[in-house]
Structure formats: structure tokens, C-alpha cells
Amino acid sequence: MTERRFTPAEADALLPELRERLPRIREARRRLIASARVVRERVITDPGGVAADPGHFEAAEALRAELERLAALGVVLRDPETGLVDFPGEVDGREVWLCWREGEERVAHFHELDAGFAGRRPL
């Protein structure tokens, strides 16, 4: 786990930014996946003339920039499609993951370091 630990209030303070970034991450990821399919199809139909879809590099750069921003914040994106995010935190003196999923009003759950979403418990 990282050095920084979030309180629930500190994690909540980042939610507006996450709500803004998560749709951009999903869109860039979808464009990247779609462009990879185009390249794969081109390899099959014309192995000697493969060229990347022009949007591929733009999508890759957008995704990279968004993920780097989350990493700089100290946030761990677990699932971009559902907007599942973990924040390093502490509960009762133990290191835990504070857990939030897009659509939830605030960070109100946590799970142990070795547990995933299924191990979520209310704060």
C-alpha cells in the first residue's frame, strides 16, 4: 500500500473529480479497444499494410493521462466499467481500502487489504 492514507472525508473530497474522470476513462478505454479490433481486422485482411487506426494513439494518450492523474492522487481504480475505486485508509488502526463505486453518494465502505469488493463492510 502507498504511504498516504485517506480519511473518509478526504476520499469524499475527491469524488467530484472522480465522477468527472471516470466517464472519460471509460470512453478512452472503449475507443482503444475498438481501434485494436480495427488493427486486428487489418492484419487478417492485409498483413503487409497494417496501419493503426488514427484514433488509437489519441485514445491511448487520453487513457494514460487519466490513469496517471488517479495514481498521482493516490487512488486505485479497480474496475473502470463500474467505477470501482479504492483509497488507502485506516480503520481501527489497521490499514484497509476505503471503497467507493460510482453512483454511491459518499465513501461509506471499506475492505481488508487482502479482500476485494465481496469483502466490503460499512464504515
Q: What is the pLDDT along the chain (123 residues), one digit of tens a residue?
A: 557 899 999 999 999 999 999 999 999 999 988 887 766 666 556 666 556 667 788 889 999 999 999 999 999 999 999 999 999 999 999 999 999 999 999 999 999 999 988 899 999
User: Burial level of 48, CB count in 10 A (0-12/13-18/19+)?
Assistant: exposed
- pTM for this prediction: 0.83
User: Burial level of 74, CB count in 10 A (0-12/13-18/19+)?
Assistant: middle
- At 14 the pLDDT is 98
Grid cell digits, residue 40: 486486428
- At 70 the pLDDT is 95
- At 45 the pLDDT is 63
DSSP state of 22: H
- At 116 the pLDDT is 86
- At 57 the pLDDT is 85
CA distance 123 to 121: 6
